[in-house]
A and B are shown apart, each in its own frame.
Chain A
Amino acid sequence: VTDVLTAVALYLAIQEFNKVVFKKQKLLIELDKYAPDVAELIQTPMEMHYIPLKVALFYLLNPYTVMSCVAKSTCAINNTVIAFFILATIKGSAFLSGVFLALATYQSLYPLTLFAPALLYLLQRQFIPIKLKSKSFWLYTMQYAALYLCSLVVIICLSFFLLNSWDFIPSVYGFILSVPDLTPNIGLFWYFFAEMFEHFSLFFICVFQINVFFYTIPLAIKLKEHPVFFMFVQIAIISIFKSYPTVGDIALYMAFLPVWSHLYRFLRNIFILSCVLIVCSLLFPVLWHLWIYAGSANSNFYYAITLTFNIGQILLISDYFYAFLRREYYLTHGLHLTRQDGTEAMLVLK
């Protein structure tokens, strides 16, 4: 049920997003911001018509979603709340978006980082420019922050009244942050902390938790014009680096991939990365069985697959990021680049 709700929410969100993108494109074309020969890069309503359906189907038919549904994991509820949050944000309702973000943060701490993309999007929607000196910017930011924090405080106090003690805070958030349970999962950190020298464990726990929250500010600065893509990258980073990742989290950000299908021509390593991801997903249960049940493999085998899978995911996200930035460059500078002497040019990151 929650999966269907998530799919519906994503569908509506992307539909709305498409409208926004289209409007923005039109505005920029009218403002002549685009270079003249980028006609093939502009998204047309025709190809964008089926994207919401593709997104919903991508989510529902993803084997990861099916697996987390069969396992009756609460990840589906997490995904639903985040999907509703995205829907509320894209529709422009600050109140609902704050409430859903508070719910998502209440469940697991990491959606806190989604506050920045949501804020950026809402500012964009209200046509408030992002200047540090602008009063309306700060006013709106304060409003949204207050909304979010108030709903979070309300939810936490509700829990307090239900339980009559504050014990749930160390149990829930302390558990997420301090990683005491080392049950193997698809993330990087269970084996890391299983083999950690006791002296350094606190240091490395802090490092890894900071690693999740750390990418928000630089991404906000770079992607302030494109908050929805920022949200996508942020969700992906959360699901790779959170302390107890599950395949349900991966399903959520993979559902967004059809939205950026127009980036396909700029992706550099998509074939090998999809092969890596598929092979690793297939090898996970095999090596788990060999380690735990057959006893003929070591924990190192499972750990190696974990490493490869996470590298695959990381490279996938950075590939999409690269393609997105490259398309933006082409949009503003023209598709056929020429050098000073008129020959075809190469584009590099410097």
Chain B
Amino acid sequence: AGMAAVLPLLLPPLLLLLAAAGPGRARRDALREELLLSPLPAGDVAATFQFRTRWDADLPRGAVSHYRLFPKALGRLVAALGVRELHLALTQGFWRTRAWGQPPLQAPAGAELWVWFQPTVTDVDKAWKELSNILSGIFCASLNFIDSTNTVTPTASFKPLGLANGTDHHLLRYAVLPREVVCTENLTPWKKLLPCGSKSGLAVLLKAERLFHSSYHSQAVHIRPVCRDASCLAVSWELRQTLTVVFDTFSSGQGKKDWSLFKMFSRTLTDACPLASQSKVYVDISPKNKEKELLEVTPPPASVHEAIVQGDKRTYAVYDLLSPLLFNTSRSLNVQLKWKRPQDSSELPTPILHAQRYVSGYGLQTGEISTLIYNTHPYRAFPVILLETVPWYLRLYVHTLTIITKGKENKPSYIHYQPAQDRRRPHLLEMLIQLPANSVTKITIQFERALLKWTEYTPDPNHGFYVSSSVLSALVPSVIAMKDVDVEQSPLFTSLFPSSDGSSYFVRLYTEPLLVNLPTPDFSMPYNVICLTCTVVAVCYGSFYNLLTRTFHVEEPSRGGLAKRLANIIRKFRGVPPL
């Protein structure tokens, strides 16, 4: 609160200073780019690109007109709609936590958008709708399908990742579109937002035909306010563009787990982005099981960086693209990794927290959603917040919600449940569950499937309907104490999530999305159905009309029609008395 009061006082002298400094003034925005290559336990390689633009400007006041490194589309968006934090992720594939370890930054399959608005925004829903439509245009994704039927307001799960004055959760909106497909036309506008585009720096590796030939591809945009310096008197805006891709080198590398930049991306690095103040490539060479080198990295790294990431001590080989020594020997940098001997695959480490979710039941009437959460820490218990968003057409029976740990019932210490309204909003279930050490927690809830109107089905209704991933947020206790990181000095991948204290690190996991079939009406029948039902109603109307408006009369005999005369002739032949 003090910051907001100080800001108007700081601004005029700051502007004067900048104007007086002249052309030799310090730049107010900075770009850092980084690529992290980490071999995953199961033999795949994860490559995480991060492009961080920090801009010392006061975006909400709209006092800026000159955009340099910060993309104008996003800057105008933040200023016009009063956005405080924006996180948009487009993902294809699923991060297999059990096989690949804890993800640095995971996103659910499809499109995920969560936004914190400024407290000055009065109509948050209107701003949310405008925002999703504008983003849909910027990123060529169908984010305009985000509406009230898939937007929720979580109360505990998505706390702000940047600076925040207060956390009134009515300013938060979260939506997932699990059906969204990510392809080249989403990558191109994402690349366009980078200051160097895809022409130099690390972004030259982002070739669509190799990136989408992978097990997992996730591109994200994160905008948040950060402290300008250690004293935190002023606010800067940080834009991080991250792209995580997991290649399966085992199957494509003829059975050998060796990989290189050229094999993965079909390009090599030639230079750093001229606009970047820092451009580095980190390769994770942490020794597993404390053995001597299992792997060899070429070219030999200029320096080695050690960091404690996600509770583990890790060693990274660092290649600084801005240092002149790097391109002395060869014009391009092709980082290669060779395994000296095959890794013992029975020693795959399991991550401390992982989860899976599945749907069970038979038939098209009822079903059950089960979530299994594993805590593999040998002696520490910790709580986890589970957020589930279920569409309205799967009617949850909350009285069947059971949470069982080690055979006993586990009562969550915080439950927030918002029931769905037909065609208006989805179910929201948030729970804070304590996970005992070395345990499996099973959460089950039963649901019933609704019959929708025929226009509400997708064009391929028998494919099924997606239930978006549930979100698990936890502070996982770490074995090694972690120091507070200085954002400017340390690698980008260590400063994604703010750390509150050194004994635990923040992890956000997503479970699998579910595919559920709904009973379908026959889509070829609308006219027939209308006719038949109206016929039945007409039968009733007709009979009642007859009985109500006509009275009984004694019948005057008629000579009989043609049919009767014919019948009489036949009867005469048979010898039977006539009608």
Contacts and interface: CB of A to CB of B under 8 A. Distances in A.
A183 B363 contact: no
B26 interface: no
B519 A189 contact: no
A189 B539 contact: no
Contacts of A295: 364
Nearest to B546: A349
A299 B552 contact: no
A208 B452 CA distance: 20
Given A292-B519, A314-B536, A314-B540, A347 B555 contact: yes
12 contacts: A182-B453, A193-B453, A198-B455, A293-B364, A299-B520, A299-B521, A310-B536, A318-B543, A325-B547, A347-B555, A349-B553, A350-B551
Nearest to A345: B554
B450 interface: yes
A240 B550 CA distance: 24
Interface magnitude class on chain A? 35 or more
Given A195-B526, A300-B522, A321 B554 contact: no
A346 B555 contact: yes
A interface secondary structure, majority: helix
Contacts of A293: 362-365
Contact of A350 (B363, B541, B548, B553): B553
A180 interface: yes
Given A241-B540, A315-B543, 20 more contacts: A181-B450, A183-B451, A184-B519, A188-B536, A192-B533, A194-B451, A194-B521, A195-B521, A195-B522, A195-B529, A299-B521, A300-B522, A307-B532, A315-B539, A329-B551, A337-B554, A339-B554, A345-B554, A346-B555, A349-B552
B519 A291 contact: yes
Interface stretch (A46-54, A122-130, A148-156, A214-222): A214-222
Interface in B529-579: 529-530, 532-533, 536-537, 539-541, 543-544, 546-548, 550-557
A232 interface: no
Given A180-B422, A293-B364, A211 B551 contact: no
Contacts of B529: 191-192, 195, 303
B199 interface: no
B533 A191 contact: yes
A345 to B, nearest CB: 5
Among B362, B455, B521, which residue has the most Cβ atoms of chain A within 10 A? B521
Contact of A349 (B422, B451, B550): B550
Contacts of A188: 533, 536-537
A311 interface: yes
Nearest to B535: A307
Contacts, number: 127
A307 B519 contact: no
B454 interface: yes
Among A182, A241, A315, which residue has the most Cβ atoms of chain B within 10 A? A182
B423 interface: yes
Nearest to B553: A350
A237 to B, nearest CB: 8
A191 B532 CA distance: 11
Given A192-B529, A196-B530, A300-B522, A318 B554 contact: no
Among B363, B520, B540, B557, which residue has the most Cβ atoms of chain A within 10 A? B540
B89 to A, nearest CB: 34
Interface in B27-62: none
A181 B395 CA distance: 12
A219 B548 contact: yes
B525 interface: yes
Interface string B391-434: 00000000000000000000000000000001100000000000
**Would you list the 6 A-B pairs with minimal beta carbon distance, nearest first?**
A318-B543, A293-B363, A349-B550, A346-B555, A195-B526, A329-B552
A349 B526 contact: no
A63 to B, nearest CB: 22
Given A181-B422, A190-B451, A195 B539 contact: no
A190 B529 CA distance: 11
A183 B448 CA distance: 10
B536 A307 contact: yes
Contacts of B453: 182, 193-194, 196, 198
Nearest to A301: B522
Contacts of B543: 314-315, 318, 321
A196 B451 CA distance: 13
B373 to A, nearest CB: 31
A315 B536 CA distance: 10
A314 B526 contact: no
B555 A321 contact: no
B547 A349 contact: yes
Nearest to A294: B363
Nearest to A201: B453
A100 to B, nearest CB: 27
A197 interface: yes
A74 interface: no
Interface string A164-197: 0000000000000000111110001111111111
A295 to B, nearest CB: 8
A290 B46 CA distance: 48
A326 interface: yes
Given A195-B530, A222-B548, A292-B364, A348 B454 contact: no
